[in-house]
Amino acid sequence: MAAADFGLPRHEYPRPQFTRPDWLCLNGWWEFEQDPEEVGLDRGWHHGHPFSERILVPYPVESRLSGIGDRHASEVVWYRRAVAVPASFAGRRLMVRLGAVDYATDVWWSGCHLGHHDGGHTPFAFEVPAHALAGASVHELVVRAEDRRERAQPRGKQYWHPESEEIFYTRTTGIWQTVWLEPLPDLHLTEVRCRPVLADGSVRWRLALDGPRAPGAAVEVSVWQPDGPLYGRLTVPADAPELEATLIPQAEAAASLQPWSPEAPNLYAVRYRILQGAEVVDAADGYLGFRQLEARGGQLLLNGRPYFLKMVLDQGYFPDGILTAPTAADLRRDVELCKAMGFNGARKHQKLEDPQWLYWCDRLGLLAWGEMANAWDFTPRAARRLAHEWAEAVARDANHPALVAWVPVNESWGVPNLDGDPAQVAYLDALYALTKAMDPSRLVVANDGWEHGGGDLATLHDYEGDPAVLQARYAQLATVLAFRPSGRALYAPGRGYRGQPVLVTEMGGLALKAGAARGGHWGYTELASAQALLERYRAQVAALASSPLVQGFCYTQLTDVEQEVNGLLTDRREPKVPLEALWAANQLGR
């Protein structure tokens, strides 16, 4: 698949949880320029300056699909394109929306600076002022992206050195998710937050508005059952910038409530409307699911019943697009492959994935863990950066029913001295508290793998290759708490086990020797054949499933990623062992 094969790449609506009918996708070919000397600002590249190359948005500079494919791209890059605003957008407020740009971004419209955003994984938008729209039918959109090779920048697995090695991979510079225009009425919804309550079938709403609110304006929210009938409707006066309300369904609808689970991913349709008398001022569509994952008595309960998590680690890398999936169908395919192998969940690792992936988790039934892309070093600036972007991430994804757990930090990344620096322990506690404050409905693992602070689960990373050792280690609580994964204490100073469910959230890492034999390629445990890999996988799953303590596992990993070849699939999503055999092995996981 080459860049030239695409007409309008990634043309699906980019925000599947909150859709509007009118929008203009700006993906496609843009003018492009690298700025290694960082002279563009001084020389006025933001307006009227032609660039010498072309790039296919939304694929990152380093990717083959971008048409550039420069894995040594400069730290500053520029994008430019002409935009013809559709006549149907006239008379409405115009927003320029960007799904994700790595890392610091400035945007200009016909020479007018629209704004600045920091954060490489979260969406942002700027309004085009009316004076910048006047007097022209075609406008100039310019984006400048700055992506420093800093260890204190939230970057996940993107390496700060030129070439990939060990557990670090090719960087993603610049635009890597969809860019689009959206026209909005003067009064419109800017954010909706729903919290379905399984116990009584109610839905708690927080609705944010922007614009002048005329007397009598109201917000109406309607919810339909999966088979079509109205589930419930509420109407609240639009008399404040933020509204809170609870939808109480009709008794008959509540009695027939259909919970969401991986085995039965029931979704309810939602329509939002702002009404001014009989006139519909604004309208958008979404969906929700009723489900509850809770930690109680050392167990995980999904919708009130014990549930064993069988997850796979998914790093979301694609050989042609790097962090950007070539098509939305590729994201759907990854979810389908997880389910075909018998997994009921996926831990998206060190990446805030494209919302289309969460959409397919919701639709097809796959539990998801949301995880921040961490920095590597701890500084006050790094702490501010990560906390800010993490709050944006929680706000972006909090309505997805498939998402059941948040992981702001993995393996002490960005807090490497928890044992000796009280400030880092306090920061870990603060991230846990921030996440719980924003979303008390989900489980939070403040530091996945070891050195836990506050947290709702006791999670361990254990790449022990011998199933007998695994079985002995997890047979009783004393040996679990005594284990030091990668030589690290299980808890940070002053913290300890409080009866949380125990999960092994990284394990396995099995690789074929033939794949690992290539220079620089590796896996945690190397095996001679596909059959040997399958047998070892089956034995490891059985060892953990036999534990009276372990409530789930996460296998490393779904696909090979560059030099790390311990995927159950190749990076091209080709199975190394039969999918049905993996499915059967995962049935051992209770």
Question: Where are the domains positioned within the chain?
Answer: 3-183, 188-288, 293-586
SS3 35: coil
pLDDT value at position 6?
A: 53
> Which burial class, exposed, middle or buried, applies to 244 when counting CB atoms under 10 A from its CB (0-12, 13-18, 19+)?
exposed
CA distances from 326 to 40, 179, 320, 573 (A): 30, 15, 7, 13
Cα gap 448→459, rounded to integer Å: 6
Instruction: Return the CATH superfamily for domain 188-288.
Output: Immunoglobulins (2.60.40.10)
Q: Assess contact for 258 and 264: CB atoms under 8 A.
A: yes
* Exposure of 426 in the CB half-sphere (CA atoms within 13 A): 4
Q: In what order do the strands lie in the sheet with 217-224?
A: 230-237, 217-224, 268-276, 279-288
Cβ-contact 565, 557 below 8 angstroms: no
Cα–Cα distance, 541 to 575 (Å, whole number): 19
- Please, is 367 exposed, middle or buried when counting C-beta atoms within 10 Å of its C-beta (0-12, 13-18, 19+)? buried
What pLDDT score was predicted for residue 214?
A: 82
Query: What is the total residue count of the chain?
Result: 590
Give residue 590's pLDDT. Answer: 67
Q: In sequence order, what are the residues at sequence separation of 6 or more whose Cβ sits closer than 8 angstroms to the Cβ of residue 96?
A: 107, 109, 114, 125, 126, 127, 128, 141, 179, 181
- Please give the backbone phi and psi of residue 54, each rounded to the nearest 5 degrees, phi first: -125, 150
Other CB atoms within 10 A of residue 90 CB: 10
- Paired strand residues for 76: 146
CA distance 432 to 87: 47
SS3 of 408, please?
coil
**Which residues does residue 503 pair with via DSSP β-bridges, in sequence order?**
459
Residues 6+ apart with CB under 8 A from 178: 10, 14, 25, 26, 27, 58, 98, 99
The values of phi and psi at residue 317, to 5°, are -105, 145
For residues 77 and 144, what is the distance between their CA atoms, to the nearest angstrom?
A: 6
Rounded-to-integer distance, Cα 98 and Cα 57, Å: 11
At residue 126's C-alpha, the angle toward residues 121 and 132, to 5°, is 145
Helix (H, G, I), strand (E, B), or coil: what is residue 255?
helix
User: Rounded to whole angstroms, what are the CA distances from 172 to 158, 214, 272, 402, 409?
Assistant: 7, 45, 36, 27, 20
Q: Whole-model pTM?
A: 0.96
Q: Sheet containing 76-84: which strands, arranged edge to edge?
A: 53-57, 28-34, 76-84, 138-146, 104-109, 112-118
User: Beta strands 268-276 and 279-288: pairing type?
Assistant: antiparallel
Contact present, 500 and 526 (Cβ < 8 Å) = no
Superfamily, domain 293-586: Glycosidases (3.20.20.80)
Domain 3-183 has CATH 2.60.120.260: yes
Q: How far is CA 32 from CA 5, 8, 53, 80, in A?
A: 19, 17, 5, 6
* Torsion on CA atoms 333, 23, 28, 81, rounded to nearest 10: -150
CB 120 within 8 Å of CB 141: no
Tokens describing residue 110: 């016909």
Q: Is 67 helix (H, G, I), strand (E, B) or coil?
A: coil
Please choose, from the candidates 276, 274, 497, 503, the residue with its C-alpha nearest in 3D space to the C-alpha of residue 405: 503
Question: Helix or strand or coil: residue 75?
Answer: coil
CA distance 361 to 357: 6
Rounded to an integer, what distance in angstroms lies between the CA atom of residue 69 and that of residue 471? 46
171 CB-near residues (< 8 Å, 6+ apart): 62, 71, 73, 102, 147, 149, 155, 158, 159, 160
Separation in Å, CA 459 to CA 456, 505, 506: 9, 6, 9
Q: Tell me how far apart the alpha carbons of residues 102 and 319 are, in angstroms, rounded to a whole number.
A: 18
Cα 26–Cα 27–Cα 33 angle in degrees, nearest 5:
100
In angstroms, rounded to a whole number, what is the distance separating the alpha carbons of residues 352 and 347? 11
Q: How far apart are CA 215 and CA 539, in angstroms?
A: 67
For the chain (590 residues), the mean pLDDT of every run of 10, in chain order, is 65 96 97 98 96 98 96 96 95 97 97 97 97 91 97 95 92 97 97 96 97 91 94 94 94 93 98 94 97 96 97 98 97 98 98 97 98 96 97 97 98 95 95 97 96 94 97 96 94 93 98 80 94 97 96 98 97 97 89
188-288 and 293-586: identical CATH topology:
no
Coil, helix or strand at residue 14:
coil
DSSP letter for each residue of 414-478: T-TTTTT-HHHHHHHHHHHHHHHHH-TTSEEBSSBSSSB-SBSSEEEE-----HHHHHHHTSSHH
Q: CA 15 to CA 20: how far, in whole Å?
A: 9
Structure-token pair, residue 215: 């007397």
Q: Which of 382, 542, 385, 551 is nearest to 457 (CA)?
A: 551
